Amino acid sequence: MSHTIFIDGGVGTTGIEIGDRLAGRPELSLITLDEKDRKDAAARRDALNAADIVILCLPDDAAREAVALIDNDHTRVIDASTAHRVADGWTYGFPELEPGHREKLAASRFVANPGCWPTGFLALVRPLTLAGLVPADWPVTVSGASGYSGGGKAMIAEYEGADGAPTAFRAYGLGLGHKHVPEMTRYSGLVHPPLFAPAVANGYRGMVVEVPLQLRAMPGAPSLGDVHAALADAYAGSPLVSVASLAESAAMGQVQLEHVGATDRLALFVFGNADSGQARLVAALDNLGKGAAGAAVQNLNILAGLSEIAGLRL
Ligand SMILES: NC(=O)C1=CN([C@@H]2O[C@H](COP(=O)(O)OP(=O)(O)OC[C@H]3O[C@@H](n4cnc5c(N)ncnc54)[C@H](OP(=O)(O)O)[C@@H]3O)[C@@H](O)[C@H]2O)C=CC1
Ligand SMILES: CC(=O)N[C@@H](CCC(=O)OP(=O)(O)O)C(=O)O
C-alpha cells in the first residue's frame, strides 16, 4: 500500500532533512509544490487535503494555519513546530516516552513532534520519575549546548552569513521562559518546571543535554547503578536509544557536540562520583536528527504501520 505524503515547509532546514530521509522509498509517494506555490494558501490546501500524512516544518503560526486548512476527516498530521505539543487532541511524538506510548501514537491522527531539547531531557528523566527514583516534586535542572542549525534558517544565516559575527558559545533562555519548558514539565511527570539553561555552540548540528542530580540528597539516595539500571531497562532493545555502561562512560570521560554525528541516534550516559553522591546524566543527539527530522520520520513510519526505522540514519 502506498502512502501519500506532503511536507509543508519542505525547503526549510528540517523539511529538507525529512525529504532526504523519505527519498527513494517506494511505499511513499511525495507531493511537492513549485517554488512559486509553496507559500500559496490554495496550493497548500490542495496538497494538505490530498495527503494521507502531512509533516509540518513551519513556524508555529504557519503550522496552526496549515491545520486549519485541512477540511477532511482523515489526513493525519505530524507537526514539527512548538504549536501543538501540549495541546488537547494531540499526541506527543516521542515513542520512547513510556510503555504503551508507541501504540497510542500509532492510533493517533494528530501528532506533535517533540522539541530537540525536550527529546534529550525526557529520555533521561522520564524513566527515573516512572521508577520513583526522581520524586515528582524534585527541583530538576537541565542545561546543555546545541548546534546553531537548531535556530533554523535565521540562525544559520546569523552564523554563516557575510555579516555574521559568530561567537564560540552563548548562553540564552536567561529569562527562564523558554518555549520548551511546558512540554518538558508535562511529559516528564514533574510537578514543577525544570530550570532550563540552554546554550548555542558554534557548530552546525548536534547537541549535548545534561541533567545534574545530587543523588545523596534525594529520597533513598539512589546510586549511580540504580539510575543506570532504570535507563538501561527503559531502552533495552531500542533501535535508536543507547545507554552506555557506567564503565564505558567513565572511560570516555567527555561527550562532544558531534557525538552521534548526522544520525538519528540518541546516546545516553550516566557519569558521576559515587563518593560525593553526585551524577551528571547526559544525552547526545543531532538536533536535526532525533531532535527533529529523524523523530518526524520515525513517527510517520509508526502512523503508517511501517518499520519504525525505515529511512532513518542509524
Ligand atoms: N532546526 C531544528 O533543529 C528544529 C526545528 N524544529 C521546528 O521545525 C519547524 C521548522 O524549523 P526549521 O526547519 O528549523 O525552520 P526554517 O526557518 O529553516 O524553515 C521554515 C520553512 O517554513 C517556510 N515557511 C514559513 N512560513 C510559511 C508559510 N506560511 N507557508 C509555507 N511555508 C512557510 C519558510 O520559508 P522561507 O524559506 O521562505 O523562509 C522555511 O522554508 C519550526 O517550528 C521549528 O521550531 C523542531 C525541532 C528542531
Ligand atoms: C539553538 C536553538 O535556538 N534551538 C531552538 C530549539 C530548536 C527546536 O527544538 O525547535 P522547536 O522547538 O522550535 O521546534 C530554541 O532553543 O528555540
Q: Which residues line ligand 1 (CB under 6 A)?
A: 8-9, 11-15, 38-39, 57-60, 62, 80-82, 115-116, 149-150, 152-153, 287-288, 291-292
* Per-residue pLDDT at 55: 98
Q: What is the DSSP string of 55-117?
A: EE-S-HHHHHHHHHH--SS--EEEE-SSTTTT-TT-EE--TTSSTTHHHHHHT-SEEEPPPHH
Q: Which DSSP letter does residue 278 get?
A: E
pTM of this structure: 0.97
Find the ligand nearest to 173 CA: 2
- Enumerate the CATH 3.30.360.10 domain ranges in the chain, comma separated: 116-287
pLDDT at residue 64 in the model: 98
Relative to beta strand 241-243, strand 91-92 is unpaired
CA-CA distance, 202 to 160, in Å (whole number)? 10
User: What residues contact residue 78 under an 8 Å CB cut-off, 6+ apart?
Assistant: 53, 54, 55, 56, 93, 111, 113, 296, 299, 300, 303
Say what the pLDDT of residue 165 is: 72
The catalytic residue among 57, 63, 116, 140 is 116
Residue with CA closest to ligand 2 atom 11: 115
- Whole-angstrom distance, CA of residue 299 vs CA of residue 161: 33
Percent of the chain whose predicted confidence (pLDDT) is above 90: 98
Locate 141 and state its grid cell.
535542572
Mutate to test the pocket of ligand 2, among 55, 57, 122, 146 (most ligand atoms within 8 A of CB): 146
Helices of type H across the chain:
13-22, 41-50, 60-69, 101-106, 116-130, 152-160, 181-188, 224-234, 246-252, 294-304
CB 136 within 8 A of CB 190: yes
CA-proximal residue: ligand 2, atom 4 (nearest)? 150
Whether 255 is in the pocket of ligand 2, judged by its Cβ within 6 Å, is no
Q: What's the pLDDT score for residue 166?
A: 82
Beta partners for residue 111, in sequence order: 78, 91
How many Å apart are CA 145 and CA 240, to the nearest integer? 21
**Residues 6 or more apart from 124 whose CB is under 8 A from it?**
209, 211, 231, 268, 281, 282, 283
Domain 3-114+291-304 has CATH 3.30.1340.30: no
Give the atom of ligand 1 at the shortest distance from the alpha carbon of 56: 9
Instruction: Go through 295-314 and write b for each residue having 16 or more CB atoms within 10 A of its CB, e for each that does not.
Output: bbbbbbbbbbebebebbbbe
Query: For 116-287, which CATH class?
Result: alpha beta
Q: What would the pLDDT profile of 108-139 be if each residue is shown by its tens digit? A: 999 999 999 999 999 999 999 999 999 999 99
- Say how far apart CA 291 and CA 117 lie, in whole Å: 7
DSSP code, position 148: G
pLDDT, averaged in runs of 10, over the chain (314 residues): 96 96 97 97 98 98 98 98 98 98 98 98 98 98 98 93 85 98 98 98 98 98 98 98 98 97 98 97 98 98 98 98
* CA of 58, nearest ligand number: 1
For residue 162, the model assigns a pLDDT of 85
User: Which atom of ligand 1 is nearest to 153's Cα?
Assistant: 18
Q: Does any ligand 2 atom lie closer than 6 A to the CB of residue 81?
A: yes
Sign of CA dihedral 158, 117, 308, 271: positive
Closest ligand 1 atom to the C-alpha of 15? 13
Active site residue 116: yes
**Is residue 119 lining ligand 2, measured as CB closer than 6 Å?**
no
- pLDDT given at position 130: 98
Prediction ipTM score: 0.96
> How many angstroms is it from 151 CA to the middle of ligand 1?
9
Distance CA(174)–CA(86), nearest Å, equals: 22
Q: Would you state the pLDDT for residue 143?
A: 98
Name the residue of 57, 64, 288 to mutate for ligand 1: max ligand atoms within 8 A of Cβ. 57
Q: Which ligand is nearest to the CA of 200?
A: 2
Q: Write the pLDDT tens digit of every residue in 219-236.
A: 999 999 999 999 999 999
Positions of CATH 3.40.50.720 in the chain:
3-114+291-304
- 262 vs 64: CA distance, rounded Å: 29
Question: Look-up: residue for cell 564560540?
Answer: 168
Atom nearest to 198 CA in ligand 2:
16
**How high is the pLDDT of residue 161?**
87
CA of 16 to the centre of ligand 1 (A): 10
